[in-house]
Chains A and B, each alone.
Chain A
Amino acid sequence: QVQLVQSGAEVKKPGSSVKVSCKASGDTFSRYAIGWVRQAPGQGLEWMGGVIPFFDTANYAPKFQDRVSITADESTSTAYMQLSSLRSEDTAVYYCATFYRNLFESWGQGTLVTVSS
């Protein structure tokens, strides 16, 4: 089974961008789609989008369509999520997870992104 390890916590200013990485090990990276889900403090889960590394194709939740970019690098078995035009409401833990059969099976440890002036 694949293991996902994410990059460390970030503190960002409003209006800036953040890029979070998600490195896979333990199985063939290209076998999986990778989804990104965020969780604001004390709140529920929110799907942002995902990527199929083998095809390097991504899709996005309409809410984030204009601000998010999700990519994958098969050579390093790493997926990336970049969110731009950050605002305080984007403060959250961002998770990557393997996406198969339309569900999220193996999760990264999460990356806390804090947006504050």
Chain B
Amino acid sequence: DIQMTQSPSSVSASVGDRVTITCRASQDIGSWLVWYQQKPGKVPKLLVYSTSILQSGVPSRFSGSGSGTDFTLTISSLQPEDFATYFCQQSNSFPWTFGQGTKVEIK
């Protein structure tokens, strides 16, 4: 199985800050990387797929980059509604695996 490792596990930030979350795959997954956002008590929401393509309706302050084994999700200017946990998922090969999550908290 491909292991997905996110860092940091949590980050404290203020509204307006730039936040970067990293996801590392245990082997090359090309550009087959997906990001989800999950707010407390809510269902995960698809944010980004194929590393950098924003799902319809996702604000442009979100961006994704990377390839191979190293990927990042960046929030250019953190908004109050962005405080949540973010998960990466490799969509390269079966079985589909997720990172352990990065919680973005209010500073």
Q: A: which residues have CB within 8 A of B?
A: 35, 37, 43-47, 59, 61-63, 95, 101-105, 107-110
Contact = CB atoms under 8 A, between A and B. Distances in A.
Contacts, number: 51
Contact of A45 (B32, B49, B55, B87): B87
Interface residues of B, number: 22
A101 B91 contact: yes
6 contacts: A44-B100, A62-B1, A101-B49, A102-B34, A102-B96, A104-B46
B97 A47 contact: yes
A108 B43 contact: yes
A27 to B, nearest CB: 15
Given A43-B100, A102-B91, 20 more contacts: A44-B98, A44-B100, A44-B101, A45-B44, A45-B101, A47-B97, A59-B94, A61-B96, A95-B43, A102-B34, A102-B92, A102-B96, A103-B34, A103-B46, A103-B91, A104-B44, A105-B55, A107-B43, A107-B44, A109-B43
A33 to B, nearest CB: 12
A44 B43 CA distance: 12
